[in-house]
């Protein structure tokens, strides 16, 4: 898998025209000690050589997947920050996720949870590159900035709404994409918020299904 690999506290891989599974969280939604522990374990794993027979990209993908599962487990538990339980704020975030759909990326799936969001986007055909408007980093900056401004205005507050880093991974093939879409849309059911995916208003499962595309 060709692309540029970057790391801050957690792994980030940018692939031109890639399909991404991204999770972003409200500030304060993850216990600081829990986040630090996950970041430390990821750095320790990432510094090791891949197991015999495994390529470096595959090893990094596995490390990123492990970090994500730890993060999501914490998010599905009790969270201090749950502003998105307010449907007005969930609606704002959903609108921002879909605002550039068809312009800078294609939304494959998403869900807005009380403390975090999952989104799967396909950037193939919308351009790529470090400074391009359809790069993963620029896309997330736009979504978080726009939604933070509108949510903070409604909340009457200032300051960061979102945690600085997002948790992302590149989707490698159609089988993985289908598993991820199912994971995203079943998240509210898993968290005990509804009985079926299509009952959760702020989810792609609520709307008619579109064809998959891995890019």
- Residue-wise pLDDT for 101-148, tens only, equals 999 999 999 999 999 999 999 999 886 444 466 688 889 999 999 999
Helix axes 87-99, 136-155, angle to 10 degrees: 150
Backbone angles phi, psi at 10, to 5 degrees: -130, 165
Does residue 45 register a pLDDT over 70?
yes
Does residue 8 register a pLDDT over 60?
no
Query: Under a CB-based contact definition with an 8 Å cutoff, are residues 121 and 105 in contact?
Result: yes
CA torsion angle 119 42 37 142 (round to 10): -30
What does the pLDDT average to over 45-74?
A: 72
Structural domains in the chain?
A: 4-206 (3.30.70.1290)
What does the pLDDT average to over 37-61?
A: 73
CA atoms within 13 A on the CB side of 55: 5
CB atoms within 10 A of CB 27: 15
Which residue has better confidence, 135 or 199? 199
């Amino acid at each position: 898998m060709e692309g540029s690999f970057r790391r801050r506290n957690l792994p980030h891989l940018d692939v031109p025209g890639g399909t991404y599974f991204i999770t972003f969280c409200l500030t304060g939604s993850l216990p600081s000690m829990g986040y630090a522990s996950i970041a430390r374990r990821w750095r320790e794993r990432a510094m090791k050589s891949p197991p015999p027979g495994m390529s470096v990209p595959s090893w990094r993908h596995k490390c990123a997947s492990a970090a994500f599962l730890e993060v999501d487990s914490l998010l599905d538990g009790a969270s201090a920050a749950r502003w998105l339980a307010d449907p007005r704020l969930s609606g704002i975030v959903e609108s921002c996720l879909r605002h550039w759909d068809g312009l800078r990326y294609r939304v494959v799936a998403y869900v807005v949870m009380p403390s975090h969001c999952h989104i799967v986007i396909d950037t193939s055909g919308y351009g790529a590159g470090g400074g391009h408007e359809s790069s993963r980093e620029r896309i997330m900056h736009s979504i978080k900035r726009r939604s933070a401004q509108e949510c903070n205005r409604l909340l009457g507050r200032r300051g960061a709404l979102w945690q600085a880093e997002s948790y992302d991974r590149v989707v490698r093939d159609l089988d993985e994409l289908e598993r991820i879409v199912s994971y995203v849309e079943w998240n509210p059911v898993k968290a005990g918020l509804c009985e079926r995916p299509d009952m959760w208003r702020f989810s792609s499962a609520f709307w008619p299904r579109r064809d998959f595309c891995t890019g």
